[in-house]
Structure 1
């Protein structure tokens, strides 16, 4: 199973929202006051954005940061569910003694 990184899910979620708004990288980078190249790298999951930068990008998208983090959390939980969790068995008290 491929290991998924939080920065990749954040970037994916930001890009999905930008595209849903029919906005260009240039428009959002200008509004967020971040270079177009850097925003592109964040969206592709190549750069780890600081909380300040994420807040600025979310503001430019008129999207609460909490919404992005919730989406990322949901996506991460889907990846984690793919791998079966190990079975944990309680040891009976009589056997433990």
Structure 2
């Protein structure tokens, strides 16, 4: 039985396709989630330390999450969202929206 391995390009690597259109690299989910969590925290006026205490997560780890340096588990995301008074779905929708905006056609923004 033969196995095949697909090699994916590294994030941030731009390859010029045959038709000459260069696409931006896909945004990373962890970065979009981190930005969404930071935005929700800022909107509520909660400090990193306050959120850490309310969610039982260390301030350092929360900082890493917000900067998109660490992947978040669903359980930890639920704990942080609960401490912020937000639903997981609201944070995911915010993150998905920011990812979609990066990929949107720049010409649409000028209309």
TM-score normalised over the length of structure 1: 0.80
- Quick one: distance in 1 between partners of 2:35 and 2:101? 15
Root-mean-square deviation over aligned CA pairs: 1.4
Q: Does 1:27 align with 2:50?
A: yes
Alpha-carbon offset, residue 44 of structure 1: 0.4
- Quick one: distance in 2 between partners of 1:26 and 1:69? 23
- Quick one: distance in 2 between partners of 1:11 and 1:64? 15
- Quick one: distance in 1 between partners of 2:30 and 2:105? 19
Gaps of 5+ in 2: 1-23, 107-111
What secondary structure sits across from 1:73 in the alignment? helix
Q: Which has the larger radius of gyration?
A: 1
What secondary structure sits across from 1:74 in the alignment? helix
- Does 1 or 2 have the higher relative contact order (CA < 8 Å, sep 6+)? 1
Question: Which residue is equivalent to 2:96?
Answer: 73
The farther-off stretch of 65-74 and 54-63 is 65-74
Gaps of 5+ in 1: 84-97
> Greater helix share, 1 or 2?
1
TM-score normalised over the length of structure 2: 0.70
